[in-house]
Amino acid sequence: MQRRAQISTLLFTLLLSTALVPVFAQMSKKAASGKDFDATVAEQAKRYLEEGRDTFRFDTFGSEDFWGGKLKLHEAIAGEKAGGVGPGLSPQVALELGLKVDVNAIPKDVAEALSKGEVDLKDPASTLVLLKSNAVVGVTGFFDEQGKTLRSVGIQCALCHSTVDDSYAPGIGHRLDGWPNRDLNIGAIVVLAPDLTAFVDMLQVTEGEVKKALEAWGPGKFDALLNLDGKAFRPDGKTAATLNPAAFGLAGVNNHTWTGAWGTVSYWNAYVGNLEMHGKGVFYDPRLDNAKKYPVAGRTKQGHKQDKEDRITAKLPALHFYQLALPTPKPPEGAFDSAAAENGKALFNDKAKCATCHVPPIFTEPGWNLHTAEEIGIDDFQAMRSPDERYRTAPLRALWDVEKVHKGGFYHDGRFATLQDVVEHYDRHLGLKLSDKEKSDLVEYLKSI
Ligand code: HEC
Ligand code: HEC
């Protein structure tokens, strides 16, 4: 009996193993193609990087139908002499408004003329030359067939999230993607538009009120939630716009924007492409139907955008990938005192309690990185505009750079002018009792991040 059982087990095993032969053969074949799979992954990474960069820099998503078609912004740029309206936008004024010029895109003859001082920077016609060569960062001009008359303009992510290294002249240089353009006075640029009806209709306010809201933004600020809740000003009378954040160093960071709780970087990209840039696409977020919190979005059904043509969705994967690839710039030599920074690091991680929220090396919490206004000791106006009614632990990045990245101050509205002010705030709010030396050591460490 026992033997028979043994034999049948043997037979069964044999049968099973023969049955498995083809499966094993298949598996080993798959294992062999794993090598190709690695190559496929690498190929996709390269393609995503290139496509994403292109989208970030050059894709208008069809937004020219809004900026040109509705606001007629191109007419104000061209000026009356070139078939538009008003004086036109000279390169000098464009640079004063914070627009940047990509030196690599300037045609050779124009560059030569520029260096000889032969380009009239006060002439709007020179702006058209720059637009035609696609040299204005984040803005694309659409010209008629003869290439003479500016017919429309569209905008890109790079308008607000890139700057240049000023290598040629202030405002003219090589692109720095992901670096916020804290010089850009987007409100003052939009106000130039001859027709603000689109905003008047959306917000259901007067044109005067639209202008007042836009003019209050100032350099480096934009209000990405005005189109949802219509709140242009805070209770203290200051603009509700926030500073342009850096779009680099975001890999590993969960919640995005100053208040978080919207979604991933990819959510926000879709949000901005559809609802801020007014590109053509599809956007879904039923939270925006909450008419009490988001009266404008509720009325205008922004959480259910379904354009016939979709020029955004297919670009989201590569765009997401490119953004996550943007590195945080390292502090240059001599940007901080290393010995003091060593002490400051110990304080950051222990006595000053900073690392409880700003967890190195991502400097925000792995997980749900949001806090109430009381926790960080500030007013809750901006937090209350977001779905979770909190502030996101800002992932600390390039704090040493107050010329570009942190120009305009720290925190969402720049309320703290310096890192010293930030540290004084936490010292008071968290009752840290740091000595003057400890405070300055902590500042030196922050400058090393
Ligand atoms: C008109 C200026 C403007 C344009 C154009 C713009 N953004 Fe932004 N972006 C902002 C501002 C301002 C915020 C902060 C919003 C907030 O916190 O409420 C922001 C936030 C972000 C963030 C979150 C950063 C962080 O720290 O988590 C990402 C990512 C981002 N934008 C990507 C993009 C992409 C991609 C595009 C193009 C599809 C784009 N933005 C177009 C102004 C702009
Ligand atoms: C309870 C969590 C928490 C603690 C503790 C904390 N922070 Fe923050 N930190 C935040 C949040 C949230 C913000 C974003 C504030 C805003 O959006 O206005 C922030 C913003 C900052 C900023 C501004 C970043 C920017 O891009 O403008 C700096 C700098 C900073 N914190 C440094 C520190 C230091 C130094 C400490 C320790 C003394 C510390 N934080 C402790 C949550 C915290």
Closest listed residue to residue 63, CA positions, set 279, 269, 311: 279
- 3-class DSSP state of 140: strand
Distance CA 275, CA 43 (A): 32
The strand pair at 172-173 and 101-102 is best described as parallel
Q: How far is the CA of 272 from the centre of ligand 1 (A)?
A: 7
Render pLDDT for 119-178 as a digit per residue (tens, 0 to 9).
899 999 999 999 999 999 999 999 999 999 999 999 999 999 999 999 999 999 999 999
Question: What gap in Å lies between CA 89 and CA 127, rounded to an integer?
Answer: 7
Give residue-wise pLDDT tens across range 277-329: 999 999 999 999 999 999 999 999 999 999 999 999 999 999 999 999 999 99
What is the bridge-based pairing of β-strands 242-243 and 221-222?
A: antiparallel
Q: 258, 390 in Cβ contact below 8 A?
A: no
439 CA to middle of ligand 2, Å?
15
Quick one: what percent of the chain has pLDDT higher than 90?
Answer: 90
Return the residue whose CA atom lies nearest to atom 40 of ligand 1: 157
Which amino acid, 83? G
For residue 124, how many other CB atoms are within 10 A of its CB? 25
Residue linked to tokens 């400097």:
363
Q: Which residue CA neighbors atom 13 of ligand 1 most closely?
A: 244
pLDDT at position 115:
86
In the block, tokens 């059982």 appear at 5
Residue among 393, 424, 430, 449 whose CB has most ligand 2 atoms within 8 A, to mutate = 393
pLDDT (tens digit, 9 = 90+) per residue, 379-429? 999 999 999 999 999 999 999 999 999 999 999 999 999 999 999 999 999
Quick one: average pLDDT of 94-121? 93
What are the residue ranges of CATH 1.10.760.10 in the chain?
338-448
* 88 pLDDT more than 70: yes
Report how far ligand 2's centroid is from the alpha carbon of 131 (Å). 40
Neighbours of 45 (CB within 10 A): 12
Do the strands 139-143 and 162-164 form a parallel or antiparallel pair, or are they unpaired?
unpaired
**CA–CA separation, 247 and 180 (whole Å):** 7
Residue of the nearest CA to atom 20 in ligand 2? 394
Q: Categorize the per-residue pLDDT at 117 as very low, low, confident or very high, splitting at 50, 70 and 90.
A: confident
Least confident of 26-30, 35-39, 224-228, 238-242: 26-30
**Nearest partner of 271 among 292, 289, 257, judged by Cα:** 257
The residue contributing the CA closest to ligand 2 atom 33 is 354
The structure tokens listed for 186 are: 């987007």
Q: What angle do CA 345, 351, 354 make, to 5 degrees?
A: 65
Mean pLDDT, residues 240-263 taken together: 96
For residues 174-186, give the mean pLDDT: 98
Using 50, 70 and 90 to split pLDDT, how confident is the model at 35?
A: confident
Residue 361: asked if its preceding bond is cis (omega within 30°), the reply is yes
Distance CA 139, CA 337 (A): 40
Class of domain 338-448: mainly alpha
The model's pLDDT over 323-346, given as tens digits with 9 standing for 90+, comes to: 999 999 999 999 999 999 999 999
Mean pLDDT of 366-375: 98
Q: Residue 114: which pLDDT band, with cuts at 50, 70 and 90?
A: confident
Q: Which residues surround ligand 2 with Cβ inside 6 Å?
A: 258, 352-354, 356-358, 371, 375-376, 391, 393-394, 396, 399, 410-412, 419, 422-423, 426, 442, 446
pLDDT number for residue 8: 58
Q: How far is the CA of 45 from the centre of ligand 1 (A)?
A: 23
Unique residue bearing structure tokens 């690091």: 345
Interatomic CA distance for residues 206 and 225, integer angstroms: 19
pLDDT of residue 30: 55
- Verdict on whether the full-model pTM lies above 0.75: yes
CB contact at 8 A, 291 and 298 = yes
Q: What angle do CA 290, 292, 296 make, to 5 degrees?
A: 75
How far lies 174's CA from each of 96, 163, 256, in Å? Answer: 18, 8, 27
- Which residue has a Cα nearest atom 22 of ligand 2? 411
CA 422/CA 420 separation, integer angstroms? 5
- Residue with CA closest to ligand 1 atom 11: 244
Could you report the per-residue pLDDT of 260-273, keeping only the tens digit for each? 999 999 999 999 99
Tokens found for residue 42: 């690498």
Q: Helix or strand or coil: residue 21? A: helix
Residue 1, pLDDT > 50, answer no
- Lowest average pLDDT, out of 17-31, 86-100, 125-139, goes to 17-31
Q: What radius of gyration, in Å, describes the C-alpha atoms of the chain?
A: 27
Closest ligand 2 atom to 246 CA: 26
Q: Output the pLDDT for position 74.
A: 98
Atom 39 (ligand 1): residue with closest C-alpha? Answer: 157
Q: How far is CA 181 from CA 199, 232, 245, 247, 355, in A?
A: 24, 21, 9, 11, 28
Q: Which residues pair with residue 416 across a beta bridge?
A: 410
**Residue 138 CB-density burial (10 A; 0-12 exposed, 13-18 middle, 19+ buried):** buried
Contacts of 173 (CB under 8 A, 6+ apart): 100, 101, 102, 103, 164, 165, 166, 167
Q: State the closest ligand 2 atom to the C-alpha of 371, by its place in the atom list counted from 1.
A: 12
The amino acid occupying position 109 is D
- Ligand 2 centroid to 122 CA: how many Å? 43
Relative to the CA of 391, which ligand 2 atom is closest? 12
Looking at all shown ligands, the one closest to residue 385's CA atom is 1
> Which atom from ligand 1 is nearest to the alpha carbon of 243?
12
